[in-house]
Structure formats: C-alpha cells, structure tokens
Amino acid sequence: MPNINEVTTLDITNEVAVITLNSPPVNALSANVREGLNEGVSSAINDESVKSIVIICEGRTFIAGADITEFGQAPKGPSLYEVQDTIENSPKPVIAAIHGTALGGGLEVALTCHYRIAVPSSKCGLPEVNLGLLPGAGGTQRLPRIVGAAKALVMMTSGEHVPAEQCLSMGLVDEMAKEDSLLEDALVFAQKIVSEKRPLVKVRDAEDKIAADKGNNALFADFRKSIARKTRGFLAPEYNIQCIEAAVNKPFEEGLKIEQELFMKLMTGTQSAAQRYMFFAQRQVTKIPDIEPDTEVKDINSVGVIGAGTMGGGISMNFANVGIPVTIIEQSQERLDKGLGIIRKNYENSAARGRITEAQVEERMNLIDGKTSIEALDTQDMIIEAVFENMDLKKDIFKQLDGICKEGAILATNTSALDVNVIAAETNRPEDVIGLHFFSPANVMRLLEIVRGDKTSKSVVASSLAVAKKIQKIAAVVGVCPGFVGNRILAQRQREANKLILEGALPWDIDDALFDFGFPMGPFAMSDLAGLDIGWSKDTSKGESLRDVLCEAGRLGQKSGKGFYIYDENRNKSPDPEVEALIKKFGEERQIKMRDVGKEEILERCLYPMINEGFKILEEGMAIRASDIDIVWTNGYGWPVYEGGPMFYGNTIGFDKVLFWLKKAELELGPEFKPSAYLEKVVTEEINIF
C-alpha cells in the first residue's frame, strides 16, 4: 500500500482509489492531512487504472474540522481551498465515506466531494459558531445549496451535529452504509456511480434549493428574531446568517468573498479567541495532574440523596435521567411527597415541551424511590447530602452515614461554602468524603464543583469526575476554601455592587452595566429572583443594612411584587423611585457621599476584584489552572463565553492594567482591593498563566 505521507495512504481496489487518513485523535485538517489529501487525490486522478476515489478515515471519526491548534500560526502546506479545488474539479467521482463526525472543515471537504455515504451512527455539522467563527472553507455557500437556507440557518447558528438519517433526508448525505461495513459499501457505491455514469455533482453549482428564497428577506428577519435572545452579544451567529443571505442572493464566488471577509473578522477578534480558549479549557478541566489515567474508578450504579428540597430533587433528576436509581431521604412523608411531586411536575413540564416522552416520565420516576429513614442508605454506591447549609446538621448526618453506608461508598456533600474537611472528620473514612457542589436548578445547570478535601482519595476524585461526565456536567476540581471558586469570586462582585449603590449608582445602573457586558442578569435582579429574605428574619432585623430596610418595607423580591425593582403581574421589572428614595435616605443617614458613577467604573469595580480573587485562588492552589476558574464562571455564573471568563478577560484588559487599577483602588477605597501577590508576580515576571 503506497504511503502518501505519514497520515495518508492510497490503495487501489477494483478501480477505486481509497485515500485513508489516519491522524489521531480526530483527523483534523492539519498541514499533513491537507497535503496527504491533495497528493492522494491528485495521484488517483493521474492514475489511469482509477475510475473513482473514496476518502475515508481511520480511528474514531471522519475529519472533525480544521486543526484549531494551527489557528494564528503561519500557513504551511497546501491551503484547504487548494485541496477542495483538487477534489471538486476531479474528472473522476470523489466520494466521502463518513463515520463518527464530519464537522466544520471536515464537512466542507465532504461538500466538495461529488457524493457522500455515511454510517447510521455518524453525524454532520458546521459547529464553527461555537468557536466564535463561521465555516470558512466554502461551507456557508455550499450548505444552503444542498439543504436550503432555512435548514442551513438552524445548523450553522446552533452548530448542532445532525444524525446521518436526518442528513440523508435533507440531501446532505446521498447513501447510507451499514454500520460495520463503511469501506465495503463505499466501494460498491463508487463502482455504481461509475457504472451508472452518474454526473460529477458540484454542490457549488446547485441552485434548486435556494432559488425559492432569493429576495425572501422575511425568512432572515424572522430567523434573527427567533434566536435573538439566545445569541445576544455573540458576533458569530449574525455573521453566519449574513453569509447564508449571500449564498441565497449572490453568485457563488461573490458569496465566497463575503464568507472570507467575515471569517477573517471573526478569526482576528477577541470573541473567537475566547471561545477557542474555552474549547480547550473544557477539555483540560478534567485532567488532574496528580491523578494518573489508571486510577481506580468506582462503578456508581445507585445513588442516595439526602433532602428532597430544590437541590436534592434537582440532583436526583440528573441520575434518574441517565438510568441510575436514586433513593431520596426526607424527614417526613409530607416533605418527601412534596419533593417527589415537584420532580414529577418538572418531568411533566419537559414532556409537555416535547423534550421527553410520557413513557420517559414514568421510567424516570420509577427510578426514584423515597424513604423517610436514613437507614435506607446502606447499599448505594454514592450518597449526596443536600440539606440546609448548617454545619452542625451536616456533621450529624455524616456521623450517621459513617455507621450506615457500605464500605467504599462515596460520601458527598453538596455544600456551597462549608469546610468539607470538617465534615469529613466526622467519619472514620475521610478518604471517601468529597464535596459535590451542584448549582441551582441542579437538573439544568451544567457546572459541578468537585471539592477535594485534604484526605479525599484519588479514586474518589476520579470516580466523581466519571460520574459528572455520565450525568453530563462540566466538572471542575477545586480545593476547600470558603465559597470554593465560584461563590468566593461572586462575593467580590456582590460586595462592590452593594457598596456602589450607596455611592450613587442605582441598582438598575449596575444591573444594566453587567447585562450589557453579557451576564444574563445583574446582581440586584438576581437577588430579587432568589428572594431578599433568604437568611433574613423580621425578629432579628435591625435596619442595619439596605437589605434589612427593604425587607422591613415588605420588599422581599419578585415573590412579593417588589424588591430592588417593582414587578408587574407578568414579573416584568421596572426601576422604582421608592427604592431610589430609600437608598438615598440610607446613604445620607450614614453620611455616604453620593456622586455620579459611570458604566466603566461600575464594570471595573465589579469585575477587577473578581480577577484579583482568581489570582488569590491560584496562589493558594484552590484551582488547578486559570482556565478552570473560567470554566466555573462561564458555566455556573453566566459570564459570557465570548469574554472567556474572568481570567481570560483580565488578560484581554491586560493584567498590568488590572494591577495598576487595584493598587490605586487600595489607596483610595480600602484594603479589600489589595492585589494578590501572585498577580504582582505574573505582571513583573511576565508569566503566562494560560
């Protein structure tokens, strides 16, 4: 079998040239792969014994896209466009044989082939949007020509991986292969194309799927409206739409030019840099330096959850969703019934929205068993305690669990701030104790902080990571410190937001600044949603904080129709002059001087201390790497992905600038702004923390 290069082979069987790519892990279009493809197809074209050409991949997948690690580097080898030209202009039919995923540049290569055959389990997609990009190798012009503008809009703005059968029905795939015989079926298909003298189909020339939408501006206007909320702040979805508009309304070559122009704009911008960084951050976060790949991972086939409240219920749903039976413990039958009722209602809401079937509602409910005695937790592989944040209560529960749970069971606490080591010390098996901090609503939010105690065993950490993956969470391993990574950083923003409203910024000024930055909600709208009276009591309130004053005035948040804002019957919020007056009075009584606070100052005051806290967390070893902090904030707290999380954002601003600002703020505003020693070191020694 002649080798084209180290990642490509060319083999001729029954007049069909088979070009096989083998570039693990995902056959990305690196310089080597592009060279191999180009040379392979060219030699097959020049070989007179060859009548048709099949492109196929070894390993887990067809080409999964351009090689993202090559972005920003000097170009090497043939460009992707050259390769595509060679394929598309081949005088012999070229067939892409797809398994795994044909994504991004991979699908764009397949779209320059004359035909595509795929196995049922394979998927096709143009997910560039999720990297803050658009398909830059003709995909924006070819996809609409093969599936129509409406489907292309959905595929390219969502980045979804479309299952093969669906691809077949929309014309993206021409032929299905059997799951285990892709090569054989591709060979037969290639020979059939030749014997039936089928045309060399060039997707670029196809007009029938887009003809009807020429000049149909409403299609695009309506689509923009339909995704506006979800894509607020992101540039890439809009640019993808503009390319599809061009595909529909302009000749192919003109459309390609627009694609190139917009691709370059995105590629050189901060948003795509942030999103590409997040792509790798997400793959790094589960790699724990001192936990070797062969560390024992325990099977988790049953789970116990203590507490059927909002957290306990949401946590239980995660496990039932993937077929793991859950035993939920509550103190009384009444509370248990209430909790189980809420779970059922959540599932029924999902069924009503068509996300799951009625049968699945029953299947999942059948996996959840309620009990009123903690003694029922004697057989489960993992126990998750999700009771109130009260140390004495948690200590007591862990002491009991130690006596009840089977040997080797993982004992987890869902605390959001308490000391996991203290909880672990209540047991004779601290190595089995770990923190699993879910975020509310736990059945929806993707983040999980895995809190590694001083004595937690490696196997328990590795097993928790494996379980997290199974229940589709994005898990970050963090150390034991008050608030862990997420809430510890949140406390900085909260403190400054609370101070700023006494200095002259109104709650809605702060919320608007953070909303415009890209957060889904500002801190005051968030407090209203959660309820201002969480942890507040009428009997003990002394009117010392603004919160006391608001709660005493019956402003408890959304549930009472007013909090920092006033709400209408549909829970739409508006600024309230009464709150403005209360704040003014509160500030005056404490002789706090009011002044004009601008948007830029709000952002600096709220965000820079968060970056500083991130550095303190790294300094103390409470997060493994800077990008883990960004994973926590983008997945658990709504930090906009296109700003890459607090650490990436700090770098975009310039850590030197952040340090300078903090030093000034320390002098002018107080010691809470004191810069972290690690930040100082990073700036003076020009250390790259990423």
The residue with tokens 């070797």 is 292
Strands, E assignment, 552-673? 566-567, 573-574
Q: Which of 94-132 are b and which e, b meaning 16 or more Cβ less than 10 Å from the residue's Cβ?
A: bbbbbbbbbbbbbbbbbbbbbbbbbbeebbbbbbbbbbb
Least separation, in Å, of the C-beta of 145 and ligand 3H9?
16
Least separation, in Å, of the C-beta of 123 and ligand 3H9?
8
Residues of this chain, 517-556, that bind ligand 3H9 according to CB under 6 A: none
Per the annotation, the verdict on 261 as an active-site residue is no
Least separation, in Å, of the C-beta of 263 and ligand 3H9?
7
Nearest-angstrom CA–CA distance, 300 and 320: 13
Q: Is the Cβ of residue 128 or residue 613 nearer to ligand 3H9 in the bound state?
A: 128
Range in contact with ligand 3H9 (rule: CB under 6 A) among 63-71, 198-206, 215-223, 652-660: 63-71
Structure tokens at 399: 């002491």
Q: Is the Cβ of residue 59 or residue 587 nearer to ligand 3H9 in the bound state?
A: 59
Q: 186: Cβ–Cβ under 8 A, 6 or more apart, which residues?
A: 18, 54, 56, 95, 97, 117, 177
Q: 287: Cβ–Cβ under 8 A, 6 or more apart, which residues?
A: none
* Residue 283 binds ligand 3H9 (CB under 6 A): yes
Contact at 8 Å (CB) between 160 and 33? no
Least separation, in Å, of the C-beta of 642 and ligand 3H9?
16
Pick the catalytic residue from 35, 39, 88, 108. 108
Structure tokens at 125: 């997609």
**Residue of the chain from 69, 169, 379, 390 that contacts ligand 3H9 (CB under 6 A):** 69
Per the annotation, the verdict on 431 as an active-site residue is no
Nearest-angstrom CA–CA distance, 256 and 199: 24
Least separation, in Å, of the C-beta of 278 and ligand 3H9?
12
The residue with tokens 């997707």 is 203
Could you give the string, one character per residue 135-154, with x where binding to ligand 3H9 holds by CB under 6 A and - elsewhere? xxx-x---------------
Least separation, in Å, of the C-beta of 318 and ligand 3H9?
20
Q: 423: Cβ–Cβ under 8 A, 6 or more apart, which residues?
A: 391, 394, 395, 398, 413, 415, 433
Nearest-angstrom CA–CA distance, 510 and 515: 8
Could you give the string, one character per residue 358-397, with x where binding to ligand 3H9 holds by CB under 6 A and - elsewhere? ----------------------------------------
Nearest-angstrom CA–CA distance, 84 and 135: 14
Pick the catalytic residue from 35, 39, 128, 426. 128
For the chain, give the number of residues. Answer: 690
Range in contact with ligand 3H9 (rule: CB under 6 A) among 64-72, 89-97, 433-441, 478-486: 64-72
Classify residue 543 as left (phi > 0), alpha (psi -120 to 50) or beta: left
* Residue 262 binds ligand 3H9 (CB under 6 A): no
For residue 499, the SS3 value is helix
* Residue 68 binds ligand 3H9 (CB under 6 A): yes
Nearest-angstrom CA–CA distance, 297 and 510: 46
**Residue of the chain from 88, 108, 511, 604 that contacts ligand 3H9 (CB under 6 A):** 108
**Residue of the chain from 19, 37, 44, 80 that contacts ligand 3H9 (CB under 6 A):** 80
Q: Is the Cβ of residue 237 or residue 430 nearer to ligand 3H9 in the bound state?
A: 237
Range in contact with ligand 3H9 (rule: CB under 6 A) among 128-136, 229-237, 363-371, 503-511: 128-136
CA distances from 409 to 154, 304, 329, 403, 470 (A): 45, 10, 17, 12, 18
Range in contact with ligand 3H9 (rule: CB under 6 A) among 67-75, 114-122, 367-375, 646-654: 67-75
Least separation, in Å, of the C-beta of 135 and ligand 3H9?
4
Q: Which of 624-641 are b and which e, b meaning 16 or more Cβ less than 10 Å from the residue's Cβ?
A: bbbbbbbbbbbbbbebbb
* Residue 88 binds ligand 3H9 (CB under 6 A): no
Least separation, in Å, of the C-beta of 88 and ligand 3H9?
15
**C-alpha torsion 431→432→434→438, nearest 10:** 170
Q: Is the Cβ of residue 18 or residue 156 nearer to ligand 3H9 in the bound state?
A: 156
* Residue 259 binds ligand 3H9 (CB under 6 A): no
| Amino acid making up residue 680 | E
Range in contact with ligand 3H9 (rule: CB under 6 A) among 124-132, 433-441, 486-494, 545-553: 124-132
**Residue of the chain from 61, 86, 122, 627 that contacts ligand 3H9 (CB under 6 A):** 61
Contact at 8 Å (CB) between 16 and 190? yes
**Residue of the chain from 33, 117, 131, 448 that contacts ligand 3H9 (CB under 6 A):** 131
Least separation, in Å, of the C-beta of 160 and ligand 3H9?
11
Nearest-angstrom CA–CA distance, 313 and 321: 12
**Which residues contact ligand 3H9 (rule: CB under 6 A)?**
25-26, 28, 61, 64-69, 80, 101, 103-105, 108, 127-128, 131, 133, 135-137, 139, 280, 283
For the annotated catalytic residues, the residue numbers are 108, 128
